[in-house]
Structure 1
Amino acid sequence: MRRTAAARLLTGTALAVALTGPVAVVAAPAHASTGGALEVYPGTVTPGTQVTVNTTACGAGGTAAGDASAVGAGAFVLAPSTHPEDAVGQFRVPPGAQPGTYEIVARCDGDEDGGGRLVSGDLVVTLTSTRPPAQPRGSVKTGVGGALGPDPVQTAAGVAALAVAAAGGTWLLHRRARGDGI
């Protein structure tokens, strides 16, 4: 049971005991019962993330009015999706949202299957991402090129130029060491 539902149940029970005294009490939650769950994906987000919610509580072809004002996102609409029985909607968590757990609610439109049901789900906002950091991919564009660059002719010409320079330098050093001069 969620914390908010448990708190409402305890509040309703305490109120019933206070009003009836020491008589046996059958207490109901202090809020209207929900007709199902509101699935929130992803369940843990950082500010600025887009969130998708869906429910089957509204029946086939049902729609709902969503409310994410607890996190500061305001109202959104859940509409029928390609999956039978699902109503789906989206909202974006504001960039200034504070860390915490927020209750997102939706009320089904009053059609024969939906009956105006209230559904809810929890959204957790954190300041750090739950995804692993992205690893770098690809090559570095420095303008120098690689040993096996995209053009094998230019690579072969570069290797040949280096070989000629090395041979010429060796020959000059050999002549100087013998005393022949330059």
Structure 2
Amino acid sequence: METTKWIIDPTHSEIGFKVKHMMFTNVSGYFNEYVATATTDDGFENNADFQFNATTKSITTGNADRDNHLISPDFLDAENFPSISFNSKALTKVSKDLYKLEGDLTLKGITNPVALNLVYHGVMNDPWGNQKAGFEITGKINRKDWGLNWNSALEAGGVLVGEEVTLQIELQFIKQ
């Protein structure tokens, strides 16, 4: 079997997330600096191995004060933990284009297994002759599983920051 390596096209990819704020609205954010690779033996339909690494300090939510708080020791502690990584362990076909992507997510020095939904959009050639593969990955994690425990109680009840983080990832890979 021929092994094929793919690298992420960062100009056509987005690593995003959402978290509840004050228990009734979402705050969205992204990572601006990241690398990702995929390795296949016989096409994405049969098997693929994904690796991802994001620079913690590259987090952005559109608010500098919030971003600085997120990279502080209260949350991601970017000085001590400069990256976030994901290494896949299994890719299982669920239906026509839907897969379950399982792997280890390391955040703030803590590694936990996660299961994510992956939609495979297929492979096509771009106008310059590059072969590209498209994916959408979604899932939910509990931030406290990685020691991201900071919060503030609200006067009316509840908390400032939700525990559940929704991952929203759009990936485009280029065949090497």
What TM-score, normalized to structure 2?
0.31
Q: Which has the higher contact order (CA 8 A, sep 6+)?
A: 2
Question: Rg bigger for which structure?
Answer: 1
Q: Quick check: which one's strand share is greater?
A: 2
What TM-score, normalized to structure 1?
0.30
